[in-house]
Amino acid sequence: MKLATLKNGRPDGQLVVVSSDRLRTVSASRIAPTLQAALDDWAEVSPALSALYDQLNAGEIAGQMFDSALCLAPLPRAFQWIDGAGYLSHLERVRSLKGSKDAELQSARPLMYQGGSDSLSAPMAPITVTDETLAIDFEAEVAAILGPVPMGADHATATAAIRLLTVCNDVSLRRLVVDDLQNGFGFFHAKPSTAFAPLVVTLDEFGNAWRDNRLHLRVQTLINDAVFGQPNAGVDMHFDFADLIVEAARTRDLGAGTIIGSGTVSNRHDEGLPTKKGGIGFACIAEARTVEKLKYGRARTPFLKSGDRIRIAAIDSDGSPVFGQIDQIVTIRGDASA
Amino acid sequence: MKLATLKNGRPDGQLVVVSSDRLRTVSASRIAPTLQAALDDWAEVSPALSALYDQLNAGEIAGQMFDSALCLAPLPRAFQWIDGAGYLSHLERVRSLKGSKDAELQSARPLMYQGGSDSLSAPMAPITVTDETLAIDFEAEVAAILGPVPMGADHATATAAIRLLTVCNDVSLRRLVVDDLQNGFGFFHAKPSTAFAPLVVTLDEFGNAWRDNRLHLRVQTLINDAVFGQPNAGVDMHFDFADLIVEAARTRDLGAGTIIGSGTVSNRHDEGLPTKKGGIGFACIAEARTVEKLKYGRARTPFLKSGDRIRIAAIDSDGSPVFGQIDQIVTIRGDASA
């Protein structure tokens, strides 16, 4: 089934079920008021949500038109957002950037960081930054939303805890990455609010595209109407979602509603072909710049600037955006501290 | 006023008001079901909570006996837990430990890390660790719970956002700190669930002990019945709470219910006097070990082991624990992944 969270003037919004064709929606508030409430009692709540989804799909309920502009992030605030690093080629490319840590990659265990989760951005919320010169970048990722995971969980337990999938934009301020990492306390200022697609979707909807704990779909990013990248999230994901969850739960329990990111989707391709001719491109600007530096001696692709539009969607075999679309405009809040 | 969260079988527990003498309690559920709900609508909710507090204190409501053993953490799960580093002497001592980063201290801006907030420990919950050899340490801190803070907030706005104070135990696995920091993505596995005192208290309760955005009270830690440390949280706090909040909000908004930690309380004293003779001691074991290494050539104080009991409380001028007491036993979950 497909779920979303609509704006209702409250911080956690209102849970709705969305039809399989993403055209209609119906309130789920008689079953669970919010997505977090549904995840807290998933075993009891999900059959009722699923029945409502079936009724909506069968036309037994008319519902209302679904509009992404009315959506908050599926979890507008979450109790945990962990971003993993499943794709090693992303790390390799980004870490070779000037100023970044060039420590040897750990391929035995995935890296991950604790992200801020108190205000996750709606799919059509602006990317608000105080300063255009901070090297504003996007990172297109797949994200899994989890049920509770006990400390020390094994791979099978981790696999069973995956409830829902979506895509997200882990907005990054590259100029602050170096400071954050050199401070030694990890990402903080470099990672403002992460944005999420409007829809979260249960695993049964993906058929064979969900296998081996990986989502085998292209994650397409457009910058100002041009395709910037379309790597396949199922390809070159060295650590699958269960690997990431096992690592996250090494020393602690993970609460219901924990969101875990795949890391920036990244394929190990040779970068010859432009995306308009079917080339793969990149799911963040930093990777493109690294490859350009190696190839041309200097980075050509600029970071995002005020007014730039960025759209991210996972595309299924029909060409449809299975989670709907992230659609953000970069906005500079010039005098925030004035 | 004083507030607490009682166990009720639900993840967020039940909000209660606690009498000023910490002996009696009454449900606040007709006003707000949970502390997060109260913080979401603080302007409307806090006068009603305050009136209930007055009634309880005046004996107009009998209430029930208050028992810390029935408490969850005031926010059993929070949307954000940020740990600052307000006391530079803590950083100096800990960073000189073998294996830690010995980068120059930044005194211009406070360091902070994003902590896991999905499962915060009750005041009397065990410290559960999978392996006794991980160098289990405590960190006694003051924590502030905030209303919403806009991105780019100034010092005055940050000051006005402080709603409640408490103390916490930022449990740390020192052997994993090095790995976490070397990975470059910041603290993760080294920081399992943080524990909180039973009570959160509004600023008006502290009189002159809350001034300059610092809590001028001793934070006392006992390990197995012996006083281990009693530094004054108002002394040598280089970055005050508003400084920490300003820094945390540099590139993003902070949601209502954000918890921000002072960092391990640490005074710049000479370490001659034992705590039983009124000496200050330390609010974590790592600092004690550093000082011992310099003084004796080797660390004498062991890290915590299975069965050790640790108690943390902020002590007011009457000798009372203003937030109640954190009282935890170290427990090893030997075969968690078996």
Model pLDDT, residue A336: 44
Check pLDDT > 70 for residue A67.
Answer: yes
**CA dist., res. B97 & res. B291, Å (int):** 10
Q: Please give the distance of CA B195 from its chain centroid, rounded to a whole number.
A: 7
Model pLDDT, residue A106: 52
Model pLDDT, residue B82: 98
pLDDT tens track for A69-81? 999 999 999 999 9
Model pLDDT, residue B299: 94
Chosen from A114, A172, A258 to mutate, greatest number of chain B CBs within 10 A: A114
Compute the average pLDDT of residues A301-330: 97
Q: B116, A176: Cβ pair inside 8 Å?
A: no
**CA dist., res. A81 & res. B255, Å (int):** 14
Check pLDDT > 90 for residue A86.
Answer: yes
Structure tokens at A338: 């004035």
Q: What percent of chain B shows pLDDT beyond 70?
A: 94
Pairs of residues, one from chain A and one from chain B, whose beta carbons lie less than 8 Å apart: 154
pLDDT band of B100, cuts 50, 70, 90: very low
* Chain B residues whose beta carbon lies within 8 Å of the beta carbon of residue A155: none
Whose CA is closest to A5, among A147, A200, A165, A142? A200
Residue B147 near residue B253 (C-beta atoms within 8 A)? no
Model pLDDT, residue A272: 66
Residue whose structure tokens are 């679309």? A325
Compute the average pLDDT of residues A57-78: 98
Compute the average pLDDT of residues B9-31: 98
Residue of B nearest to A256 (CA): B118
Collect all residues with Cβ–Cβ distance below 8 Å to A74 and sequence separation of at least 6.
A3, A4, A5, A35, A145, A164, A166, A196, A197, A198, A199, A200
Pairing of strands B326-332, B127-129: parallel
Residue of A nearest to B247 (CA): A189
Model pLDDT, residue A271: 62
What is the residue type of B82? I
* Lowest mean pLDDT across A214-223, A256-265, B53-62, B171-180: B171-180
For residue A288, give Cα distances in angstroms to A96, A258, A272: 12, 30, 12
* Chain A residues whose beta carbon lies within 8 Å of the beta carbon of residue B336: 150-152
pLDDT tens track for A119-165? 999 999 999 999 999 999 999 999 999 999 999 999 999 999 999 99
For chain A, which residues make up each domain, given as ranges?
A: 1-72, 75-332
pLDDT band of A166, cuts 50, 70, 90: very high
Model pLDDT, residue A209: 98
Q: Which of A111, A187, A189 sits opposite B250 (nearest CB)?
A: A189
For residue A321, give Cα distances in angstroms to A18, A229, A246, B29, B38: 14, 15, 29, 43, 38
Model pLDDT, residue B220: 98
Check pLDDT > 50 for residue B101.
Answer: no
**CA dist., res. A200 & res. A76, Å (int):** 12
Q: Where are the beta strands (DSSP E) in A109-161?
A: 112-115, 127-129, 136-137, 140-146
Domain B75-332 has CATH 3.30.70.980: no
Model pLDDT, residue A32: 98
Check pLDDT > 80 for residue B207.
Answer: yes
pLDDT band of B92, cuts 50, 70, 90: confident
Compute the average pLDDT of residues B247-274: 91
Compute the average pLDDT of residues A224-235: 96
pLDDT tens track for A1-46? 999 999 999 999 999 999 999 999 999 999 999 999 999 999 999 9
Collect all residues with Cβ–Cβ distance below 8 Å to B28 and sequence separation of at least 6.
B3, B15, B16, B17, B38, B49, B52
Whose CA is closest to B158, among B112, B213, B205, B206? B213
Structure tokens at B323: 């937030």
Structure tokens at A213: 């704990």
* Lowest mean pLDDT across A176-180, B35-39, B40-44, B99-103: B99-103
Q: A152, B337: Cβ pair inside 8 Å?
A: yes
Model pLDDT, residue B99: 44
Compute the average pLDDT of residues B195-220: 98
Q: B251, A192: Cβ pair inside 8 Å?
A: yes
pLDDT band of A91, cuts 50, 70, 90: confident
Model pLDDT, residue B103: 45
In angstroms, what is the C-alpha Rg of chain B? 19
Average predicted confidence (pLDDT) for chain A: 93
Average predicted confidence (pLDDT) for chain B: 93
Q: Which of B114, B184, B251 sits opposite A103 (nearest CB)?
A: B184
pLDDT band of A99, cuts 50, 70, 90: very low
Pairing of strands B2-6, A64-65: unpaired
Check pLDDT > 70 for residue A107.
Answer: no
Check pLDDT > 80 for residue B337.
Answer: no
Compute the average pLDDT of residues B283-294: 92
ipTM of model:
0.93
Model pLDDT, residue A108: 81
pLDDT band of B26, cuts 50, 70, 90: very high
pLDDT band of A94, cuts 50, 70, 90: confident
Model pLDDT, residue B102: 43
Chosen from B40, B251, B330 to mutate, greatest number of chain A CBs within 10 A: B251
Our separate counts of H helices and E strands in chain A read 7, 20
Model pLDDT, residue A186: 84
Residue B105 near residue B91 (C-beta atoms within 8 A)? yes
* Chain A residues whose beta carbon lies within 8 Å of the beta carbon of residue B190: 251
Q: How far is B273 from chain A (nearest CA, A)?
A: 32
β-bridge mates for residue A274, sequence order:
none
Structure tokens at A171: 């907005």
Chosen from A185, A244, A246, A330 to mutate, greatest number of chain B CBs within 10 A: A185
pLDDT band of B93, cuts 50, 70, 90: confident
pLDDT tens track for A264-288? 999 987 666 778 888 899 999 999 9
Q: Bigger pLDDT: A326 or A183? A: A326
pLDDT band of B274, cuts 50, 70, 90: confident
Compute the average pLDDT of residues B94-115: 68
Structure tokens at B264: 């391990």
Check pLDDT > 80 for residue B194.
Answer: yes
Check pLDDT > 70 for residue B107.
Answer: no
3-class SS string, chain B: CEEEEECCCCCCCEEEEECCCCCEEEECCCCCCCHHHHHHCHHHHHHHHHHHHHHHHCCCCCCEECCHHHECCCCCCCCCEEEECCCHHHHHHHHCCCCCCCCCCCCCCCCEEEECCCCCECCCCCEEECCHHHCEECCEEEEEEECCECCCCCHHHHHHCEEEEEEEECCEEHHHHHHHHHHCCECCCCCCCCEECCCEEEHHHHHHHEECCEECCEEEEEECCEEEECCECCCCCCCCHHHHHHHHCCCCCECCCCEEECCCCCCCCCCCCCHHHCCCECCCHHHHHHHHHHHHCCCCCCCECCCCEEEEEEECCCCCEECECEEEEEEECCCCCC
Model pLDDT, residue B269: 76
Collect all residues with Cβ–Cβ distance below 8 Å to A305 and sequence separation of at least 6.
A132, A136, A330
Collect all residues with Cβ–Cβ distance below 8 Å to B306 and sequence separation of at least 6.
B132, B330, B331, B332
Tell me the CA end-to-end span of chain A in Å, nearest whole number: 46
pLDDT band of B186, cuts 50, 70, 90: confident
pLDDT tens track for A237-262? 999 999 999 999 999 999 999 999 99
Model pLDDT, residue A185: 83
